[in-house]
Amino acid sequence: TAGITQAPTSQILAAGRSMTLRCTQDMRHNAMYWYRQDLGLGLRLIHYSNTAGTTGKGEVPDGYSVSRANTDDFPLTLASAVPSQTSVYFCASSTDHPGEQYFGPGTRLTVT
Amino acid sequence: EDQVTQSPEALRLQEGESSSLNCSYTVSGLRGLFWYRQDPGKGPEFLFTLYSAGEEKEKERLKATLTKKESFLHITAPKPEDSATYLCAVQARTGGFKTIFGAGTRLFVKA
């Protein structure tokens, strides 16, 4: 199985433009997550979803929005990108009970 | 506020030199503590989940332990292929599946 896929792999985006990072999982996990990873700061949770139809805010939600229309997809949207959103973005999923998260390969985003 | 602090930031070992990585946490009711390994340019890979103080888990040269305030990842006789960043994370009983990660410990094992 593919596990979690993310697209694009990398992107250079002009400040002020919008962009959607895609994330798809084929494991039928209920919970999904979006993180950003910056040097020295580790992984910081942006938004999460306990199950399809619900979303929640993480540590750093400002400037980002998510939706969870179905179990498999969890897109992350930047409505108007700013340079501080330059980062590596990881999507992850997990089963219902506390357990391991499966991570995608990441999207490297540069906002100029 | 839930918080995870990992130390040291970086650790350099000779092959075969055992050591431990520390993860201190503050959480309002621990649901689970997790250890991950991350190689450069890749997403984190799950290693262990610990649920309650006193619990231990082992996998090859790695052993994770948990107390009420911290967790240790013990590395016995490491090899160069153990070089990676090791991440600790916690989930609280409240807040659904919200997960807080530490900044990680970068481990370098020299042959």
Tell me the pLDDT tens digit for each residue of B60-89. 999 999 999 999 999 999 999 999 999 999
Q: What is the pLDDT of residue B1?
A: 81
Is the Cβ pair B104, A42 closer than 8 Å? Answer: yes
What is the greatest pairwise CA distance in chain B? 44
- Residue B56 pLDDT exceeds 60: yes
> Helix (H, G, I), strand (E, B), or coil: what is residue B53?
coil
Smallest CA–CA distance, residue A82 to chain B, in Å, is: 23
- In whole angstroms, give the CA distance from residue B32 to residue B14: 32
Q: Does B57 touch chain A (CB under 8 A)?
A: no
* B10: chain A residues, CB-CB within 8 Å: none
- Residue B29 pLDDT exceeds 60: yes
> Which 3-state string (H, E, C) describes B69-87?
CEEEEEECCCCHHHCEEEE
Q: Does B42 touch chain A (CB under 8 A)?
A: yes
Q: What is the pLDDT of residue A97?
A: 57
> Could you read off the pLDDT tens digit of each residue along chain A, which spans 112 residues?
569 999 999 999 999 999 999 999 999 999 999 999 998 788 999 999 989 999 999 889 999 999 999 999 999 999 999 999 999 999 999 986 557 899 999 999 999 9
- In whole angstroms, give the CA distance from residue B103 to residue B7: 9
Is the Cβ pair B49, A100 closer than 8 Å? Answer: yes
Q: Does A58 touch chain B (CB under 8 A)?
A: yes
